[in-house]
Amino acid sequence: MSDIATTGSENAHEDGHLDVVAVGNALVDVLARTTDAEISRLGLIKGSMALIDLAQSKTVYGTMGATVEESGGSAANTTAGLAALGGRAGYIGKVADDQLGAVFLHDISAMGVEMGRITPVAPSDEPGAERATGHCLILVSEDGERTMATHLGVAETLGPDDLDEDLLARGEVVYLEGYLWDQAPAQAALRRAIEVAHGADALVALTLSDPFCVTRHRREFLDLLHGDVDILFANEEEVTLLFDAPSFDGAVAAIEETGLLGALTRGSAGSVVVTASGPVAVPAEPVEHVVDTTGAGDLYAAGFLFGLTQGYDPERCARLGGLCASEVISHFGARPQADLKKLVSAAGLD
């Protein structure tokens, strides 16, 4: 634990070094405003992520009003935020050789994120084919809460052979997206990524991604906490479900017993970072108006990991994470729009 809490980027100026390399579902987000009633009518659960097929995607999309399209995917959002802070980030995902795939690759590269070796999959017009770039339909309620309906497309087929192991080995932290655990090939890819990371003396961070993801894979996630994962990202509901705890405090105590570094978000209540010295509560950064909570956890992880790889103490990392999260929830979309470096400097966190 103490090693994790004080990790710095001693090699930050060496050629090829990366602070964070992330593995995730490469998606293009399609966002639109909606109502709670419409979410219920579609059979979706507010605030959660549901996997849908292409036919369901067309149905949901047909109900959406004016949309905003931008590259997304949870782990990809985190690398984009880290790059915006000045960090060195790499990303591994899978896209098709189609328009959305080209958009994704252009956007993430423009953010300064290094893509792993990738050969876009040839698209197919066959009925039921999953050979298209994945997309996430994001319905944003009046209170800013987001409900996601995701068609994974070719992201669903990401497996060990799609990993750029040389890129993984260059990272100080390898960051894994919990959503990937829904696909058997991706499970194998994550296990291989963990082996490569540990072989290169890198830390492994896991984000639990979604409460329903935790419900589906609770036992496997718990197993990963014993020797595979070094840093755990989760929100209050996710971590409470993971440990089947009667309260958030009970979940915090369970994290302490594992010896992991835990970064636990609580929305407007801020976050709690669990260290070798015990848990530390960090208040949320004030936000005048919450517009869209999409990407809040992703950008929190970006700020936290940026701080960690710069050698900051865990509390300061959590404050950085909260600052980045506050920026992304103040506008539509899951990628930062303000200059994060300036925000960090103004807050005295640089």
Q: What are phi and psi of 49, to 5 degrees?
A: -120, 130
What gap in Å lies between CA 90 and CA 15, rounded to an integer? 14
| Tens of pLDDT, residues 79-118 | 999 999 999 999 999 999 988 899 899 999 999 999 988 7
Number of helices (H), then strands (E), in the chain: 13, 14
Do the bridges between strand 68-72 and strand 27-33 make them parallel or antiparallel, or are there none, so unpaired?
A: antiparallel
* Torsions phi, psi for 7 (to 5 deg): -60, 135
- Residue whose C-alpha is closest to residue 298's, from 225, 209, 230, 215: 209
Query: Are the beta carbons of 169 and 321 closer than 8 angstroms?
Result: no
User: Global pTM?
Assistant: 0.88
Instruction: For residues 57 and 149, give the distance between their C-alpha atoms in angstroms, rounded to a whole number.
Output: 7
- Mean pLDDT value of segment 130-152: 88
- Residues 332-344: what's their mean pLDDT? 88
Q: Identify the pLDDT of residue 12.
A: 38
In order of start, what are the domains of the chain with their CATH numbers?
A: 2-7+15-26+73-128+153-341 (3.40.1190.20)
